[in-house]
Amino acid sequence: MQRSITRRDFLNGAALTIGAAVVPSSLFLACQVHTAPEQSLDYYPPALTGLRGSHRGSFETAHSLRDGTFWQHAGTPADSGETYDLVVVGAGISGLSAAHFYRTVAGPKARVLILENHDDFGGHAKRNEFSAGRRTLLGFGGTYAIESPAPYSAVAKSLIEELGIDVASYPKYVAQDLYFSLGLTPSIFFDQETFGADKLVVDPTSLGGTETGDRASETPARWQQFLAEAPLSAKAKRAYYQLYHDHKDYLPGLPSEAKKARLARISYANFLKDIVGVPEEVVKVLQAGPQPLFGVGFDAVSAQDAWGMGYPGFTGMKLDPAPGKGMNRDAIPNQEAEKYFFHFPDGNATIARLLVRKLISQAIPGTSAADIVTARANYAKLDEDGSPVRIRLNSTVVRVKHDGDLASAKQVEVAYARYGKTYRVRASHCILACWHVVIPYVCEELPGSQKQALYAAAKVPLLYTNVAIREWEAFRKLGVSSIYAPGCYHTEATLDVPVSIGPYQCSRQPGEPIVIHMMKTPCRPGLPARDQHRAGRMELFNTTFETMERNIRDQLARMLGPGGFDPSRDVTAITVNRWPHGYAYEYNSLFDDFWLEGGETPCEVARKPFGRIAIANADAGAYAYTDGAIDQAWRAVGEISNRPPSPQAGAGLAGSATTAADV
Ligand SMILES: Cc1cc2nc3c(=O)[nH]c(=O)nc-3n(C[C@H](O)[C@H](O)[C@H](O)COP(=O)(O)OP(=O)(O)OC[C@H]3O[C@@H](n4cnc5c(N)ncnc54)[C@H](O)[C@@H]3O)c2cc1C
């Protein structure tokens, strides 16, 4: 990394996007389009590299709506003459599920239009593809797996089964022992800026990701290695070791319930500093631990949640194992939920693709959940005349209103902007399966209190970065399968989960190409969680791909360079999935009093039906999981129909029970 990054190095990302067969939608913003770009056989968003996720061209319209400038330039929407039974806003898993559930009620001939502002369907469940010689590598651009901290509801499980996914069969597809058998283990990267030296050290506290095998016997040796090599002061090393090995009661004399109430109101960082008394260096090591789940570090996550997630310091505190009031659902261990896990090579993009195939069979060939892994979607088929279900990409909905008086209106009018023009369609009903923060700008008719509740669902920003590399010899030489880097730009870097399914074969030999998954949650430690997310969102919007790429290459070189990794030789492509509006915001006992004290939650107010309009999306359950998105779609369809959609079982919906009393 001493040499400067050449323009050629950057070809993997930014330039390839421009050179790719798909024309960026922003190029069309100012002109009228006669032949839709999606009709071109070359239109294939999963293969685009560079800055993806919320890509250029997907958000400008919504932002101008927010800023009050959209209608100054837009003019009256052209009447498309189209009429539907249902218009769904948002082609994420919630919107696609809503379309599917609606057809179970209204029948297969019901006419459904799904409008989506991105150039691909799936919402956060996005597929990334990379060419590696004659091989195609897959990566997940967002939603990683079928998993949930609480058990899947009957509705969500039933849909997963209906799509042909046999969750129990997962062990057949994953090479669980692959990395372990090669001697690779999870490690921690200490960076010079935070810890005074760049050093990759074995993580003595982790038995590691998807690997299995009883390795408890290795733990003392790993601790020895860690204590010898970590660039921490002797005092910090001692405190770190004791934190994991002492079984002390740090709140003596209090009953369990009172301890939990105290832990719910103090951050884990402050618990460690002020109650346990560890040096700041130890907090720095642990700080970024919860970021992949919460989008913030331990300065903004409660000590009670840290206890639930298994972080150290609580084994001597005699806490009743039942979940405490105000715990985040991510922090409540549940063995039944843990068993329900399935990772496809493109993550839950496979669920989105299976739903699309169910809605528009001609769009994706094949018949099974295995053959879809390598099937190429034909985007030209998504929005065809005569098809009962149509998915219209690159279309931002800008207004939804009843056609006349709320009580007597027989239709809603939905206006959307597409490639610089505005159109309107009519429908008997509309389901808003889009992000809740967008809804008040789109649906002005809603009551003010509901708009306020919708605004409260500002999402958690994230970067999910996939780096395709030529080979993973450096990981083998260093004995590393995944890296936690608490001080770095990306705090996680992991070799792809070795899953082979259908015709897709994972990388098994260190000499073969593979995808590294990296993750960053931009946050500002010290601020309340929502303010951290707001600042992080701005950071993501304002950072160029070139800066991100430089950070990625620099970090990989520093972490893996001692194993021979050379980014300019080994990196073959980079896709940064930028999600400024990422996870649904989940309530936090440090900042949301209602979550501790009970009462109606903002999401319950936000999701109330309004005339012919119902509201879905994972935000409607304040629950950042796929089953939550499915359950909210099921509820929304029930609200606009006279009877509940199939499946009939609605008990225990993941997002419907959202008061503190329920946890
Ligand atoms: C990076 C990441 C990783 C995740 N990992 C997991 C995981 O491993 N397991 C899990 O269960 N869950 C995971 N989740 C959560 C899960 O992805 C979501 O709960 C679920 O996919 C959300 O689906 P949705 O349809 O509700 O929302 P989205 O997927 O956000 O879809 C909503 C769609 O509406 C579109 N939209 C917004 N405004 C408009 C408009 N005005 N006009 C048209 N369209 C609009 C949006 O662009 C978006 O495409 C993850 C989320 C993220 C961000």
Mind listing the pLDDT tens digit for each residue in 3-35?
333 323 333 333 333 333 343 444 344 344 458
Could you tell me if the CB of 559 is within 6 A of ligand 1? no
- Ligand 1 atom nearest residue 65's Cα: 41
The mean pLDDT of 494-507, rounded to a whole number, is: 97
What would the pLDDT profile of 438-448 be if each residue is shown by its tens digit? 999 999 999 99
Could you tell me if the CB of 440 is within 6 A of ligand 1? no
- Mean pLDDT across the chain, nearest whole number? 91
Structure tokens at 542: 């304002």
Whether residue 404 contacts residue 169, with contact meaning beta carbons closer than 8 Å, is answered with: no
Whether residue 147 contacts residue 160, with contact meaning beta carbons closer than 8 Å, is answered with: no
- Residue 476 φ/ψ, nearest 5 degrees: -65, -45
Give the number of other Cβ atoms within 10 Å of residue 272's Cβ: 27
Could you tell me if the CB of 94 is within 6 A of ligand 1? yes
Confidence of residue 645 (pLDDT cuts 50, 70, 90): confident
The mean pLDDT of 71-80, rounded to a whole number, is: 94
The secondary element (H helix, E strand) that includes residue 188 is strand 185-190
The DSSP output letter for 335 is H
b/e sequence 506-527, b meaning 16+ C-beta within 10 Å: bbeebebbbbbbbbbbbbbeeb
| Alpha helices, DSSP H, located in 163-255 | 178-181, 192-195, 219-229, 234-245
Q: Give the pLDDT score at 34.
A: 58
Assess whether pLDDT exceeds 80 at residue 655: no
Give the closest residue to 63 by CA, choosing from 602, 442, 448: 442
Model-level pTM? 0.93
The mean pLDDT of 327-343, rounded to a whole number, is: 94
The mean pLDDT of 579-598, rounded to a whole number, is: 96
The mean pLDDT of 323-345, rounded to a whole number, is: 95
Ligand 1 site-directed mutation target among 124, 430, 617, most atoms within 8 Å of CB: 124
The mean pLDDT of 391-402, rounded to a whole number, is: 98
Assess whether pLDDT exceeds 70 at residue 298: yes
Cα–Cα distance for residue pair 220/236, rounded to 1 Å: 18
Q: Give the pLDDT score at 81.
A: 97
Q: How many Å lie between the centroid of ligand 1 and the Cα of residue 95?
A: 10
Assess whether pLDDT exceeds 60 at residue 322: yes
- Ligand 1 atom nearest residue 115's Cα: 43
Cα–Cα distance for residue pair 608/194, rounded to 1 Å: 47
Give the closest residue to 519 by CA, choosing from 140, 89, 108, 82: 140
Flag the least confident range among 95-109, 195-209, 437-451, 529-543.
195-209
- Ligand 1 atom nearest residue 434's Cα: 34
Could you tell me if the CB of 433 is within 6 A of ligand 1? yes
Q: How many Å lie between the centroid of ligand 1 and the Cα of residue 351?
A: 12
- Ligand 1 atom nearest residue 435's Cα: 37
What would the pLDDT profile of 397-419 be if each residue is shown by its tens digit? 999 999 999 999 999 999 999 99
Flag the least confident range among 13-27, 212-226, 254-268.
13-27
Q: Give the pLDDT score at 219.
A: 82
Q: How many Å lie between the centroid of ligand 1 and the Cα of residue 537?
A: 16
The mean pLDDT of 229-240, rounded to a whole number, is: 98
Residue type, 149: P
Assess whether pLDDT exceeds 90 at residue 207: no
Cα–Cα distance for residue pair 354/621, rounded to 1 Å: 23
Q: How many Å lie between the centroid of ligand 1 and the Cα of residue 112?
A: 20
Could you tell me if the CB of 148 is within 6 A of ligand 1? yes
Q: Give the pLDDT score at 206.
A: 75
Could you tell me if the CB of 149 is within 6 A of ligand 1? no
